A and B are shown apart, each in its own frame.
Chain A
Amino acid sequence: MEKVLEVKNISKEFPGVKALEDVSFDLYKGEVHAIVGENGAGKSTLIKILTGAYTSDKGEIIIFGKKYEKLEPILTQTLGIAAVYQEMVLANDLNVVDNVFLGIEPSKYGFIKSKEKKAKVIELMKSIGYEGLPIDAVVRSLSAAQQGIVAILRALIRNAKIIIFDEPTASLSSKEVDVLFKVINTLKSQHISIIYISHRLEEIFKIADRVTVMKDGKVVDTKGIQSTNVDELIKLMVGRNVSNDFYDPTRRIGKEIFRCENITNYKVKNISFSLKSGEIVGLYGLIGSGRTELAMSIFGADKSTYGDIYIEGKKVHLKSPEKASRYKLSYLPEDRRRQGLALQMGVKFNINLASYNKISNFGFVDIKKERLVAADLVKALGIKTPSLSQIVSNLSGGTQQKVVVAKWLAANSKIFLMDEPTVGIDVGAKAEIYNLINQLAKSGGTVLFISSYMPELMGICDRILVMKDGKIAGEVKRQDFTEDRILALAIKNQKEANV
C-alpha cells in the first residue's frame, strides 16, 4: 500500500517541556490510523506540527513522497491536509454553504456564485452519504454532530487527502457517533486517509485500521487493530511509575469541612458530595462531563447555580468568588494562564492578589508584608524565579502553577478546588505539584483534584468521584481503584458499569 504521510524522528521542545521526542508515525492511503494517549501525551502537538501550526525542532516529514523540513498552514492546505477539531472552528453566524466555502469562494468579477456553491455542497453531501444537513441554516443553530459534518465538508471542498479528527465524538450522542462513523467509512472508501484521535478506546476498535499509542511525548507502539485489545492499549497508555509513590498514608483524615448538596446549573445536575480535612478527593470524567462547571459553581463563579453549600457544618451562600474565598475556598482554574494569573504582572503581585485585603490598612497595602508573604511562599514552595518581581508569563508551567497555589495559601485557603493542576507541566514539575497537594491536605486542608489523567488521580487520591453527563456516576474508594472500574463509570451507563 502507498504511504501518504510519514513522520520520521521528530522532536519538539517548549520551555521546560519535551512535548515530542523522536516520534515516528506513518499513514497509508485510505487508512484510519488512530492515536491514543492520556492528556499531555503529545497527540495535539503532533497534530499541530502536521497542520503547520507548530514547527518541529528536529526530524523530517514526508508527504506524498516529498520531503519537508517545515510545514506552513498554507502549504498543508494545498497538500490536502485538513483537521477537524474537538471544538469546531467554524464561523457560527454564517450558514452551512458559506462556511464550507469560507476563504475559497468561487467568484466571477468579484461576485460570488451562490448557486454553484449550493450545488457543490449538495453534491458533496451525497458523496459522503449524509444528506440531512439544512444548508441554509446558520452554523450556530446546528447540533454538534452536524457542525462536525460541516467541518468535514469544508475539508473535502479543499480536496483534502488526509483528514485529522481530534476528539470528534467528545460531545456527540451515541447515535450521532454512528452517523459520523458511517461518514468516515465512506471517506475511507474514497481513498482518503484519516488520523483519528480519541480518548474513547472502544470507538477505535469500531473505526480504526491501526492504532498508535503515545505516552510522555513518545510513541510507545503502533499496532494493527486486529492484533490488540482495549486492555493492552490501556496498559500501553498508562504503565507509568508515577502512581503509588505519591500516595501519602500519613495524612490524617479528620472532620468534614466541606459539603455540597444538589448543586445544579446549566450543565450539572444534583451534585452532592463532601470533603474531609486531610483528604484528597479525585474528580474524574471525560471532557464535557461538567467537572469545570461544577467547580465554578461551587466557587460562586456561576450565577446560575442552585443548591446548598456547607462549610464546617455551617450553611453558606457563596454568591461570588470574592465571598467564596472568604470562606477559605479556592479554585485553581485549568487555564491558569488566562484565568489563574495576572500574566503581565510579577510573582509578588500574583501571590498577594487574593489576599491584599489581609495586608492592607485603610486601603493601603503594607508593602513590607506584601514582600515578606511572597518571599516566604517562594521559598516554601520552591518557586523557581529570578526575582519576586519577575513577570509570571515568562515562567514555566509548573512554576506558574505553584504561584497560583501560593496565591491561595497566602489567602489562607483550606478547601482547594484544583482543575487539571498538572496540565502542560513537565514530568519533574508534576511530582512537585503532587507533593504540594499532599502538603496542603496534610496541614488540615482538603483538595478536590479534578483531572482527566487517571493514573495521577489513582496515585494520590483517597477516593475518586466520577462524573458523566453532568452527574456523579459513582465513587470509588482507594482500595477499589482499578482503571477499568473508573473508566467504566465515566463511559458506560451506571447499570453496565456495576456489572
Chain B
Amino acid sequence: MNEISRGKFSFQLNTQTLVFIVLVALWVFLSIASSHFFNINNIRNLFSQEAIVGVLAVGQLYTIITAGIDLSVGSVAALTNVVLTLLVINGMPIPWAIILVLLLATGFGIANGVIIYELNMPPFIVTLGTMSIAAGAALLISGGTNISGLPISFANFGSGIFLGMPNLFWLLIIAVVIGEIVLRFSKFGKYVYAVGSSVEAARLSGVNVRRVIYGVYTISGFLAGVGGVMLTARLWMGVPTAGADYNLNSIAAAAIGGASLFGAQGTVIGAFLGAIVMSTIYNGTVLLNINPFWQEIIVGALIIGTVALDQIKKRQKYTYTKK
C-alpha cells in the first residue's frame, strides 16, 4: 500500500523539488556573491516583493489547471488599488472599503467565468478584454495620475512585521495554504484537474463544468482583489499603472512552478516557489549591480527552460510507450 501511494506524490514533488533546488542554489550563490543578500532586512524585502505576485499566482494557477488563463489579474489588482484609495480618502471606513473592492474584483472574476463558459469563448481573449477594461477603468477614475492621501495605517500595515516576517508575506502564506488544501483535498479541487484534463470526460463523468469554470475565475478575481489591497498597503497610494507587470508575472510564476498551460498540471506550492525564484532574481541582480535590464532576460530564459524540461520529460515517456 505504501508503495502505491508514492507514485504520483513523488512525481509532483519532482517538479516542485526541481524549482526548490534551483531556488536553494540561487540563494547559496547570492549569499556567497553578495554580503547583503542573506540579511534579514533583504530577505524581508524580497518576501514582501514576492507576496503580491504570489497571491495573484495562486488564483492564476487555478485557471491554468483548467487549461484556461486569467490575463486580467494584474489590472484588476491595479483597479482595486485605485478604487480603494479613492474610497478611503473620500471618507469611507477602511473595512467597508476593503469589502467593497473585494466584491468589485470578485465581480470581474465572475464576469470572466460567465463569458468564458456561457459564450464558449477562449479564456485568453475574454481575460485580455477584461484586462484592458480594468486597466482603462483604473486610469479613467484616477485621471491617470497617482493618488496619495491614504492614512498612515496602510503604510504601517504594508511595512509591518509579524513573527519576524512581513505582514504581506503572511497573507501570501494564508492564500497558499488554503489554495493548496482546496486544490488537493476538496471535491472542487479534484474537478478543477478533471476539467483541465478533458472537459468532455469531466462532463460525461457527471462533473458540473459550469460550476468549475465559474469557480476558478471567481477565485482568481477575488485573489486579484486581495493582491490589490496588498498593493495599496505596499505603495501607500493609488497607482493606476501598478498592475501591468503582474498580469504576466503571475503566469510566469505558475509556469516556473510546474503548471502546464495545457491543463491538469500544477500545484499552489509550485507557483509559490516560482514566485520566490522570480523575486530572488530581481533582488539578486540589484545586489550584484547587474544592469537591471538583465532581470527580464534571465526570467524569460528560466520560463522557457523549465517548461522545456517538462516537455522533454513527457516526450521520453511518450517514446517509451510507443515502443
Contact = CB atoms under 8 A, between A and B. Distances in A.
Q: Does B bind A? A: yes
A411 B206 contact: yes
Given A352-B190, A353-B207, A386 B7 contact: yes
Interface stretch (B23-31, B169-177, B197-205, B246-254): B197-205
Interface stretch (A39-47, A120-128, A170-178, A361-369): A361-369
B33 to A, nearest CB: 39
Interface in B165-216: 185-188, 190-191, 193-194, 197-198, 200-208
A333 B1 contact: no
Contacts of B321: 15, 394
Interface in A276-303: 299, 301
Given A344-B265, A345-B197, A389 B7 contact: yes
Given A387-B4, A389-B8, A364 B185 contact: yes
Contacts of B7: 346, 386-390
Chain B CB within 10 Å — which of A326, A365, A391 has the most?
A: A365
Interface string A127-145: 0000000000000000000
B197 A357 contact: no
A15 B321 CA distance: 7
A362 to B, nearest CB: 9
B4 to A, nearest CB: 4
A339 B265 contact: no
B21 to A, nearest CB: 23
A353 B205 CA distance: 7
Interface in B17-61: none
Contact of A340 (B4, B201, B207): B201
A349 to B, nearest CB: 7
B293 interface: no
Contacts of B205: 321, 325, 353-354, 407
Contact of B191 (A321, A340, A356, A387): A356
A454 interface: no
**For the complex, would chain B's binding face be called helix, strand, loop or mixed by DSSP majority?**
helix
Chain A CB within 10 Å — which of B8, B9, B201, B208 has the most?
A: B201
Contact of B187 (A299, A364, A390): A364
A161 B263 CA distance: 44
B6 interface: yes
Interface residues of B, number: 33
Nearest to B263: A344
Interface in A302-353: 320-322, 324-326, 331, 333, 338-346, 349, 352-353
Contacts of A364: 185-187
Interface in B238-287: 263-265
A392 to B, nearest CB: 9
Chain A CB within 10 Å — which of B7, B188, B205, B265 has the most?
A: B205
B172 to A, nearest CB: 23
A390 B321 CA distance: 14
Contact of B4 (A357, A365, A375): A375
A252 B202 CA distance: 34
Contacts of B206: 321-322, 324-326, 354, 411
Nearest to A395: B321
Given A388-B4, A389-B8, A389-B9, A321 B204 contact: yes
B5 A388 contact: yes
A343 B314 CA distance: 13
B264 to A, nearest CB: 4
A126 to B, nearest CB: 44
B198 A339 contact: yes
Chain A CB within 10 Å — which of B4, B11, B185, B204 has the most?
A: B204
Interface string A248-266: 0000000000000000000
A267 interface: no
Interface in B279-323: 317, 321
A274 interface: no
Nearest to A371: B5
B3 interface: yes
A111 to B, nearest CB: 33
B215 to A, nearest CB: 11
A353 B194 contact: yes
A360 interface: yes
Interface size class, chain A: 35 or more
A273 to B, nearest CB: 21
Interface string A378-394: 00000000111111001
A343 B198 contact: yes
Contacts of A340: 201, 204
A342 B194 contact: yes
Chain B CB within 10 Å — which of A331, A346, A387 has the most?
A: A387
Given A321-B205, A333-B204, A367-B185, A342 B264 contact: yes
A178 B205 CA distance: 43
A394 B5 contact: no
Contact of A344 (B4, B6, B185, B197): B197
A367 to B, nearest CB: 7
A89 B138 CA distance: 48
A353 B207 CA distance: 8
A320 B264 CA distance: 23
B198 A356 contact: no
Interface in B138-158: none
Contact of B201 (A324, A325, A338, A371): A338
Contacts of B263: 344
A345 B1 contact: no
A356 B186 CA distance: 9
Contacts of B203: 301, 321
A324 B208 CA distance: 12
Contact of A301 (B11, B185, B197, B204): B204
Nearest to B202: A342
B198 A365 contact: no
Contacts of A357: 187
A363 B188 contact: yes
Contacts of B204: 299, 301, 321, 331, 333, 339-340
Contacts of B11: 389
A387 B264 contact: no
B158 to A, nearest CB: 33
A356 B4 contact: no
A385 to B, nearest CB: 9
Contacts of A338: 198, 200-201
Nearest to A14: B322
Contacts of A354: 205-206
Nearest to A341: B201
A340 B203 CA distance: 9
7 contacts: A338-B201, A342-B264, A357-B187, A360-B186, A371-B5, A388-B7, A390-B8
Given A365-B185, A365-B190, A387-B5, 20 more contacts: A299-B204, A321-B203, A321-B206, A333-B204, A340-B201, A341-B198, A342-B193, A342-B202, A343-B198, A344-B263, A356-B190, A356-B191, A357-B187, A364-B186, A365-B187, A375-B4, A388-B5, A388-B7, A390-B8, A411-B206
Closest 7 CB pairs of A and B: A389-B8, A342-B197, A389-B7, A325-B206, A387-B7, A356-B187, A344-B264
Interface of A: 15, 299, 301, 320-322, 324-326, 331, 333, 338-346, 349, 352-354, 356-357, 360, 363-365, 367, 371, 375, 386-391, 394, 407, 411
